[in-house]
């Protein structure tokens, strides 16, 4: 897959995932990249984060990424024709203190890659809200929940375990408000032009 200036975050994620899986390296798309995909682009990440789930040396990773058109600069892999860069944060794959994350298969064009589920992407954004009071992450979590079927009870249990039950109630109330507004918009009859 050739990347260029108009390549989307999804294009970059698919390109990297394909290169890594082709080299036998298991990785999971996470962080802001998942939030961009699940929010329908309402949130735009500048980077594409993967958690490696295979033991791989830096030299081997450099070699595989170079074949995909990326060059390492510090902790980032950059592409000469794309403004998006790729990072591999240290694992394990976790959200807050929860390390029992089950990635799902996500399809981008004809490429299937491992990624956080919508529920886990929502939790990932909520973790930033809970721990750093990041309101943008809160809004993105609400947008993900508005657009996708998420497991609200699972998020509630996790929030309580993390010590943020009150924050969860704020989130749940905002999700309900957003869903009600969406239902109202859908039930409103379209006006007939004159």
Q: Going residue by residue through the chain (194 aa), what tens digit of pLDDT does each one get?
A: 789 889 999 999 999 999 999 999 999 999 999 999 999 988 999 999 999 999 999 999 999 999 999 999 999 999 999 999 999 999 999 999 999 999 999 999 899 999 999 999 999 999 999 999 999 999 999 999 999 999 999 999 999 999 999 999 999 999 999 988 878 888 776 545 44
Return the pLDDT at 149: 94
Asked whether the beta carbons of 136 and 43 are under 8 A apart, the reply is yes
Give the model's pLDDT for residue 189: 65
Distances (CA, A) of 118 to 84, 101, 102, 104, 170: 22, 12, 11, 9, 19
CB 20 within 8 A of CB 58: no
Q: What is the pLDDT of residue 151?
A: 97
Virtual torsion, Cα 136, 138, 142, 144, nearest 10 deg: 70
pLDDT confidence of residue 190: 59
pLDDT recorded at residue 173: 97
Phi/psi for 43 (5° steps) reads -110, 135
CATH topology of domain 9-115: Beta Polymerase; domain 2 (3.30.460)
- Two structure tokens written together for 105: 């298969």
Q: Which two tokens stand for residue 34?
A: 């998942």
Instruction: Report domain extents, the chain.
Output: 9-115, 118-187
Q: Residue 50's closest CA among 19, 79, 81, 7? A: 19
């Amino acid at each position: 897959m050739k990347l260029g200036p108009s390549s989307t975050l999804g294009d970059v994620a698919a390109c990297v995932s394909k290169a890594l899986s082709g080299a036998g390296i298991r990785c999971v798309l996470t962080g802001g990249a998942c939030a961009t995909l699940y929010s329908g682009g309402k949130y735009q990440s500048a980077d594409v984060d993967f958690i490696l789930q295979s033991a791989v040396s830096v030299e081997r990773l450099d070699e595989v990424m170079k074949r995909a058109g990326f060059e390492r600069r510090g902790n980032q892999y950059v592409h000469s024709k794309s403004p998006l860069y790729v990072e591999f944060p240290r694992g394990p794959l976790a959200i807050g203190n929860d390390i029992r994350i089950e990635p799902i298969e996500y399809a981008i064009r004809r490429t299937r890659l491992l990624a956080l589920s919508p529920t886990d992407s929502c939790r990932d954004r909520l973790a930033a809200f809970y721990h750093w009071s990041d309101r943008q992450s809160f809004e993105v979590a609400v947008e993900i929940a508005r657009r996708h079927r998420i497991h609200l009870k699972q998020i509630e249990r996790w929030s309580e375990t993390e010590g943020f039950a009150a924050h969860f109630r704020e989130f749940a109330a905002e999700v309900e408000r957003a869903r009600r507004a969406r239902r109202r918009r859908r039930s409103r009859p379209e006006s007939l032009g004159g």
